[in-house]
Structure 1
Amino acid sequence: MWNVPNILTLCRFLLIPAYLVVFEAGYIRSAFFILLLAGATDVLDGYIARRRGLVTDLGSMLDPLADKSMMIAVILSLVFSQMISWQAACAMFLRDAGMIAGSAYFHFRGKKTVPANAMGKLTTALYYVAILLIIFELPYAHAYLWFVISVSILTSIIYILQFNLLHKRAGKPQSLDKPR
């Protein structure tokens, strides 16, 4: 339970209020660097967990929860500072809240969850780029954000399909006759 990857994940939870305090104080670019630090701990905890065989059920649940919680904090800070529209914030929030709720629901029901895949990781990276563009007020930032929102909805659909496929296979009656 208490291993380096899980401790890094817990540190990521602590970076959420740090991000919000720094952002609210008006140090928006510094807040972005806290966000990057959170992203780095995410990459590092996953790498260490897989490389050293330290993947745990707790870490598998907390890691995406930390990611989504940070993203929700970022969304709220950007919308309240009027850096993004309410429509974009709602689209991002509903997607992430749905992922958190679904993950928690299935975890506590003892169901297997679909691990992060390349599409989900790509979506996270694209969100970081979108946030960078918005914070630094670069051209086409909002158009790019809507592109990323579209990609994130697509990856959510893929996760749902993978989850359904995983549980259809798990629930399928097995034949007693084994092919030879």
Structure 2
Amino acid sequence: MNIPNMLTISRFVLIPVYLVLFFNGHIRTSFIILLVAGLTDILDGYIARTRKLITPMGVMLDPLADKCMMIAVILSLLISEMIPWQAAVAMFIRDAGMIIGSAFFHFRGKLTVPANVMGKLTTVLYYFAILFIVFEFTFAITYLWYVIGVSFLTSFIYIFQFLLLNRGARAK
């Protein structure tokens, strides 16, 4: 257990905090909690890379924490009718697929593709989409659909990288 992994675990702890605030009518404050979670994600990655503290546990838990937080956000926005159910289903399928796929292959000893620029960009775009939704910008849902499209493109890139990485690992 190192500092980056503790920061990752703190993101799991922030999920119920976000949900309690959101469902008690503190939607904008819950968005701040989401931003804090995002900052811990940036911080844990920075510390892990610069201090060479990357661990197999961190490689697995970091994206899991991100996906779990995003699923909590999706569900809260859906339940509160701030996003259409079709968008929630598309986002849920993508994130659940990434979680299940990563776990399935991780526990079978396959190499994991670390976060790349496209994945990080997608996360930033989702944060902006949530900001626009929470603050009721007129274009928020249209922008959200754009981000959903980018997120599926990013997923296909990860799948392609995963296949290449594990094909190369088999050949060695």
TM-score higher than 0.5: yes
**2:3 is the alignment partner of 1:4:** yes
Give the structure 2 partner of residue 132 of structure 1: 131
Q: 2: distance between equivalents of 1:24 and 1:166?
A: 42
SS in 1 for 2:143: helix
Cα deviation per residue 1:5-30 (whole Å; 9 max; x = unaligned)? 00001111000000000000000000
Deviation at 1:171, TM superposition (A): 1.8
Partner Cα distance (2:52, 2:20) in 1: 35
Aligned pairs for 1:8-157 within 5 A: 8-157=7-156
TM-score (norm 1): 0.94
Matched residue SS, 2:136: coil
Task: Find the residue that maps to 1:137 and give its secondary structure.
Answer: coil
Q: Aligned letter for 1:100?
A: I
Structure 2 residues without counterparts, runs of 5 or longer: none
**Count of matched residue positions in the alignment of Structure 1 and Structure 2:** 172
2:169 is matched with which residue?
170
- The runs of 5 or more residues in structure 1 that have no matched partner are 175-180
- Deviations along 1:22-54, one digit per CA (max 9) or x if unpaired, are 000000000000000000000000000001010
Q: What's the offset of the Cα at 1:107?
A: 1.1
Secondary structure of 1:69's aligned partner: helix
- CA–CA separation in structure 1 for the residues paired with 2:161 and 2:2: 29
The whole-number CA distance in structure 1 between the counterparts of 2:42 and 2:138 is: 28
From the CA coordinates, give the structure whose radius of gyration is larger.
1
